[in-house]
Amino acid sequence: MATPAAQNAANPAPAPTEHKLVKFHLEGHFHYTFTVDLELDLADPKLDKKFNLEGVPLVGKWQCGFRSSDNGSIRVQVWHGFLPVGIWGARSTVLLEIFSVKGSQAECVDSSKWQPRPNPSLNSQSSKSFTHYYLTIKPEMLTRAAEAFEDDLKVHRTYRVTFSIDSGGAEPPQMLLNRLPALELSTPHKSVRFFFPQHEAALWAESRFLSQSSPYFKTLLSSAFAEAVSVLSKRPKTRRGSATAAAADARAQDFDDSDDETDELYFQAHPPSQHERDELQHSYKEIKIAKTAFTTYRAVLAYLRTGFIAFAPLSSTFSSENDPDGPTRRSRIEGAVSSDPTLPYPASPKSTFRLAHLLELAVLQHLCLTNLSKQLTSESATYELFSDTSICYDAWRKVVLDFIVEHYNAVTSSVSWKAETAKVRRDEITGAAPIMLELLELRAAKTGASPMGSPTLADSASPTITSQHEESLPIHGSHVQLREGRQTGIHAENATQ
């Protein structure tokens, strides 16, 4: 008979395994899998453990638990908490698997699959969704898995839990965003870090995903612009990226950016420390973003994986002079995110357009221009006409010019027109002269008159009454009313090819 020492030598105690999320895998928009490695004694008759699963980017409060019963079976549970019924898809499937792991080998102990249905499904007793999934491992299943490794169940300690969701196919873009609202904030096994030094905050993405989504990212990540960073121990939170990594910044020059105000609002509610991971045990490429707003970048990254983006009101559509007691842009954004603060905050279509132009995202540029055309008013059009973005980007300026030509009398009799054209006469707006000439030529083409006979800056057109139109647009599931005379809401846009 072998001595205890000999038995221990034959079955050495396994190295300690930390209870942690080790992998989250996203396939397209429709299949999600996360894997958890755990160190457990499943032969313990008093086993009753529950672990918080930090870093799962799926919406919910995720936990995993093991509890033994009197008959020797083990109940394995994965909790997600209360969620909207069917948020993972009306015909989604869920698969829960338990593996015994030894080195690079894994032996399936047990699994359970929930066939196509709305998941999470409705609990008829509570009229809410079920909060967890579970399976029961019978004693003989544990013994069989241990024998596959020629191991002793009383000694074996390493197990793996895999939880998979297949949503069953194409779904509305906003549903995808609601399901994975914070994927860009999650660090596990992401290969690219966008670092925002002004806020000491970061966004994360996969290099392959970025390269497939944007021709610009494909070139950038294959070059030396994005700094390769190897992190094998604790990293100071104040670590700065290389200056060469700033090439993915849309604001090579200083534009007025209303998303800076949204950043202020966001980081008041979500301190930057929530975005930093003290320990990142993997290598990644870092891109420093010094001038593009965090809000803009997060909204665009979320758009790339879902096709959905919510646009904020343009600052030019709010005038304290015309309505000092009216709502502000800030209050509109606060109202829009109050229902679900985990979602990306609405981004300025102007800021988004500049970034989309840099990243060569033609469809997103089109969405921004469409949103601009919806937001323009007789008062805001002049401000937009002489904005930095209008001066620098022909496509943006064309939308504004077309609106002004169409609503010429109303625009040229507005307070903003008189104020801005006075600045033009004083040569206070760089690049304004070619824009005014372009406007006069377009106006002449529409009226059939000579450009030289068109109204000048000093001319005052008689006011006209224009018809108002009303449109209902979603704000993360709710609706607000928009009127041409004054923009008051958040626009949500879906990409369509």
DSSP state of 374: H
Which tokens sit at 301? 């990254």
Token pair 């939880």: residue:
163
pLDDT digits (tens, 9 = 90+) for 298-342: 999 988 888 889 999 998 887 655 566 677 888 888 888 887 888
Binning pLDDT at 50, 70 and 90, where does residue 40 land? confident
Give the whole-angstrom CA distance, residue 20 versus residue 298.
26
Looking at every residue in the chain, the average pLDDT score rounds to 77
The pLDDT confidence band at residue 248, using thresholds 50, 70 and 90, is low
Rg of the Cα trace of the chain?
Answer: 29
In contact, 361 and 454? CB cutoff 8 Å: no
Q: How far apart are CA 482 and CA 225, in angstroms?
A: 43
Contacts of 254 (CB under 8 A, 6+ apart): 291
Q: Which CATH number applies to 15-171?
A: 2.60.210
- For Cα atoms 216, 219, 222, give the angle at the middle one, nearest 5 degrees: 140
The C-alpha atoms of residue 317 and residue 295 are separated, in whole angstroms, by 20
Q: What is the pLDDT of residue 20?
A: 53
pLDDT of 143: 83
Asked if 135 contacts 74 with a C-beta cutoff of 8 angstroms, the reply is: no
Name the pTM for this structure.
0.66
Does residue 496 register a pLDDT over 60? Answer: no
Q: DSSP string spanning 174-212? A: HHHHHHSTTGGG--TT-SEEEEETTTTEEEEE-HHHHHH
d(CA 101, CA 408): 73
Angle between helical axes of 349-358 and 294-306 (0-180°, round to 10): 70
Rounded Cα distance between 387 and 256, Å, is: 9
User: Torsion angle of alpha carbons 274, 280, 286, 288, nearest 10°?
Assistant: 30
Residue % of the chain over a pLDDT of 90 = 35
Minimal CA–CA distance to 295: which of 329, 318, 261? 261
Q: Answer whether 76's CB lies under 8 Å from 98's CB.
A: yes
Mean pLDDT, rounded, for 6-17:
46
**pLDDT level of residue 147 (50, 70, 90 thresholds):** confident
> Using CA atoms, how far apart are residues 137 and 145, in angstroms rounded to an integer?
11
Pair 478, 471: CB distance under 8 Å = no
pLDDT at 16 over 90: no
443 membership: H or E segment, kind and range? helix 432-447
pLDDT over 70 for what percent of the chain?
A: 71
SS3 315: helix
- E-strand ranges in 374-494 read 470-475, 478-483, 491-494
Distances (CA, A) of 186 to 201, 228, 268, 299: 12, 19, 19, 15
With 0-12 / 13-18 / 19 or more C-beta atoms within 10 angstroms meaning exposed / middle / buried, residue 99 is buried
State the pLDDT confidence band at 479, using cuts at 50, 70 and 90: very low
Residue 475 to residue 310: CA distance in whole angstroms: 8
Helix axis angle for 259-269 and 294-306, nearest 10°, is 90
| pLDDT (tens digit per residue) in 350-390 | 999 999 999 999 999 999 999 999 999 999 999 999 999 99
Strands (E), 383-477: 470-475
C-alpha distance from residue 172 to each of 85, 166, 212 (Å): 16, 15, 21
Residue ranges of the domains in the chain?
15-171
Distance CA 490, CA 306 (A): 18
The whole-angstrom separation of Cα 412 and Cα 341 is 40
pLDDT for the residue numbered 322? 55
**Which pLDDT band, with edges at 50, 70 and 90, does 253 fall under?**
low
